[in-house]
Amino acid sequence: MTDETAQISEDFADDVIQGLSRPHKRLSPKYFYDDAGSRLFEAVCRTREYYPTRTELALLRTAAAEIAAYIPDGAALVEFGSGASLKTRLLLDAAPQLAAYVPVDISPDALERATASLRSDYPALLLSPLVGDFSSPLSLPADIHGCPPIGFFPGSTIGNFTPDEAVAFLGRARTLLGSNAQFLVGADLVKDEATLVAAYDDAAGVTAAFNRNVLARINRELGGDFDLDSFAHRAVWNAEAQRMEMWLISTREQTVHVLGKPFHFAQGEGLHTENSHKFTPASFTELAGRAGWRVVRTWISPEPQFALFLLTASD
Ligand code: AVJ
């Protein structure tokens, strides 16, 4: 085990014990994505009901030329998350004036994979990965000095944060990217409840398996004894907070053990596993504004609506 993976499993253990010890039990959605979970997420994206990924990709495709017109010569694309996906390539293809690509991630392995896959296809592009997670102050790599930065945060991952966390994230990105930066953020929009609930509770049960996988991961990595069949998947729209919530509901009274510690579940008791905030152009503009960003352009897909917001550092 590397120091990095040892640290991650220690954080995982602490977070799980803490989350299960609360009067309202919860787990962080960041732990969904082990190898099995990442594969399950990809399967979720292929379900008919889960529209965000394919909708954002189609929107990027139609907006790419217009987005490229905002990108200056010699700019650096700074992507938050390991990236180098189809979405990244769409931007790189549409904006050949991009001189550098800087993926930012806590995992050196993910960064290595991301840059390796681009190296042969974009030989002229400077690849400059940045290891970091924002909990400590970051600065852009020295070799992109002088390249105007454009941040990229696709996938509506921003929706997993609480509004205050989202503002903190956007503020740290603003500090990292600097005062002449732009930032392209993909975010899912508020829409009718039926479409939202179906997207998080597909008929084939792929999202249910994705949700339950976090219990399987606890069993695998933390010596847990969760009985996956005793937890029902629930997806609910919280209208007041404008977010989709995923829950696992204990279908019987039971005691589960993790790292030797017992955790009691009443019948019907919920374990909250994810918030996925949805936005309106107005609510997103307000959030970005609190972090020092101004919305300069918004692209919205046909229904089910998904948005790309182009932000500029506003001073
Ligand atoms: C990857 C965080 C954008 O919140 O829609 C998919 C994760 N959860 N189905 C989302 C997810 C349930 C997804 N994000």
pLDDT tens, 14-24?
Answer: 999 999 999 99
CB 180 within 8 A of CB 107: no
Look at residue 156 in the predicted model and tell me its pLDDT: 95
Ligand 1, atom 10: closest residue by C-alpha: 276
Look at residue 1 in the predicted model and tell me its pLDDT: 57
* Residues facing residue 249 across a β-bridge: 232, 270
Model pLDDT for residues 256-287, shown as the tens digit of each residue: 999 999 999 999 999 999 999 999 999 999 99
CB 263 within 8 A of CB 226: no
Mean pLDDT on 195-217: 98
Percent over 70 (pLDDT), the chain: 97
Look at residue 297 in the predicted model and tell me its pLDDT: 98
Nearest ligand 1 atom to the CA of 52 is 5
At residue 194, φ and ψ (nearest 5 deg) are -65, -45
Nearest ligand 1 atom to the CA of 160 is 2
Query: Is residue 131 helix, strand or coil?
Result: strand
- CA geometry: angle 184, 185, 186, nearest 5 deg: 125
The bridge status of strand 270-277 relative to strand 243-250 is antiparallel
Report the alpha-carbon distance of residue 86 to residue 262 in Å, rounded.
44
Query: Is residue 313 helix, strand or coil?
Result: strand
Ligand 1, atom 8: closest residue by C-alpha: 200
15 residue type, one letter? D
For residues 56, 60, 63 and 64, what is the CA-based torsion angle, rounded to 10 degrees? Answer: 170
- Whether this model's pTM surpasses 0.75: yes
Query: Is residue 216 helix, strand or coil?
Result: helix
Mean pLDDT on 224-242: 98
What six digits make up the tokens of 154?
Answer: 């696709």
Instruction: Give the Å distances, CA to CA, from 270 to 12, 33, 121, 159.
Output: 20, 21, 47, 21
Report the alpha-carbon distance of residue 297 to residue 286 in Å, rounded.
14
**Distance from residue 23's CA to the centre of ligand 1 (Å):** 25
